[in-house]
Amino acid sequence: METLVEQQRRYHEERERLEDAMVQEKLLKKSSVREHINSEHRIKDLLDRSRSSCKALVELYEDEDGSRKEEIQSLSGPNELNEFYDRFRQLKEFHRRYPGEIQEPMQLEFMRLAEERKNPSEQYQNLVDFSDEEGYGKYLDLHRLYVRFVNIKGMEKMDYLRYLNVFGQLYDINKEKKGHDYHKYLDHLLDYLYNYCSRVKPLMDIDKELVEKATKDFDIQWATGIFPGWKKDSGSAMMKTGAPLDLSGFASSKDLALLGLDRLKSALMALGLKCGGTLQERSERLFSTKGKDLSSLPPAVFAKGRKAQPKDIDERNREIAYKEAQIYFFVEVLADQKKATRDNVERKQARTAGELEEEEEEEEEAPASDSDSDEGDAIPYNPKNLPLGWDGKPIPYWLYKLHGLNMYYECEVCGNYRYRGPKAFQRHFSEWRHAHGMRCLGIPNTAHFANITSIPEAQQLWAKLKANKEKERWQADREEEFEDSLGNVVTKKTYEDLRKQGLL
């Protein structure tokens, strides 16, 4: 039988051991995405258990029923020996009834946790359920959502790769296409992103982050009418419903009357108001909406059989926009997974069916720890020292020879820097390194110096170009012409000499 004081001591011990286990788990080196996600889930379990212990301790310290206070008084009162022997007798009675029952020390439990952390079993390596496409938290699996999206009426048809680029850019979709099907699509997309984020980032308080970031920013942007994809016009009820008539330029109903009966009727119909009556009645009825919200107008001015009240439409639009704001939040949080998914799909599309089958066989044969290791840690087999492609693997040898990557070109202007292949060599003349070298020599990096890599050659050419420019420069004493009184044209120098001699 455990006393309240003993329970209190046990909860304190459990908290200390849990904190130590979380620290050890945090310090553990993770070499793959799988290990990182599993580690965070283990920390979350330890954290939840620590919170439960803290909650139980708070209840014990508050002692609402006074039982803890009575127990302490019985232990510290005048009959403490009687209390001691009474409890000792209860322990003997308990062990007499249950002779084979032994309580396992808490230390053994945490020792097993530490052992599992160092040498994880197969069950310990798969703590979370992921689909094959998700690659245990590496990628997103949006295939079902892609099918839903392209089947929405009015949506542009696109392939899966482009969908991965635009599924988080909902502000580019026209508001008129955001109907019932689009609303259901947002629900499914939001559910998936929430569930995926909770599996990939278990230590993240998603609900709190949504309230602090997405919800607060959305409320401000929606109130000011600047939320992406839902920007509102200001000025009148007519402008808010997208009607073609702006009332801000009319000072009275008489000014509106100048537009005529037909124009006023179309404007009233756009707002769902009654459009009958004389010219004066129509102009007064339309002018009464200036600077007002449709929901604040009396029901008598509206036409019968309107489909939906503007207030209901605004609430529906706000609900859709708020879900879009939450999706923007998740897209930002899962930016790395989104980029990795796009790269993975591009890589798969660039390979043939045979290469994909070979890759799948290699992944099945390879152990989980090897297949999940970070690409940066693994050194690819590259005996010929070929350049690595975008997928981190050596490029094919025929491509290596085709692009001339076996040849090196040295540039003295760039500090004897070596460029691999003719393409990189030609491109470097317009890059910063070559431009900086030419600037240090005091030579402009113009087209005259293309394909010149030697410093003496560049200096000689620059000297020749300066000499040619000097020759082509206009010289006043030799090229400026004057005319004497007889109409003879001479140079400035000849004219000055003749004038000084008084021969003109």
**pLDDT, position 372:** 47
Q: List the structure tokens of 187.
A: 């629900």
User: How far is residue 23 from each of residues 43, 46, 57, 202, measured CA to CA in Å?
Assistant: 9, 11, 22, 17
33 vs 238: CA distance, rounded Å: 54
- Residues 6+ away with beta carbon under 8 Å from 428: 411, 414, 419, 434
Look over the chain and give the mean of its residue pLDDT values, rounded to a whole number: 80
The CA distance from 273 to 267, in Å, is: 9
Bridge-based pairing state of the strands 408-411 and 417-420:
antiparallel
Residues 6+ apart with CB under 8 A from 476: 492
Higher pLDDT, 384 or 431: 431
pLDDT at res. 270: 73
Residue whose structure tokens are 């029952």: 101
pTM over 0.85: no
Neighbours of 43 (CB within 10 A): 17
What pLDDT was estimated at residue 267? 79
Place of tokens 């350049």: 387
Judged against a pLDDT cut of 70, whether residue 320 lies above it is answered with yes
- Is residue 73 over pLDDT 80? no
Compute the average pLDDT of residues 473-500.
Answer: 79
**Number of helices followed by number of strands (H, E) in the chain:** 25, 4
Position 247, amino acid: L
17: its two tokens: 């051991």
Res. 127: pLDDT tops 70: yes
Q: Where are the domains of the chain?
A: 4-125, 133-234+298-378, 237-290, 407-471, 474-504
Report, as an integer, the average pLDDT of 124-129. Answer: 77
Question: Is residue 285 a contact partner of residue 277, using CB atoms and an 8 Å limit?
Answer: yes
Residue 353 has pLDDT above 70, yes or no: no
Bridge-based pairing state of the strands 481-483 and 408-411: unpaired
Could you tell me if residue 242 is left (phi over 0), alpha (psi between -120 and 50 degrees) or otherwise beta?
Answer: left
Residue 258 or 195, more confident? 195
Q: How confident is the model at residue 361 (pLDDT cuts 50, 70, 90)?
A: low
pLDDT at site 452? 92
Give the residues across from 273 on adjacent strands.
302
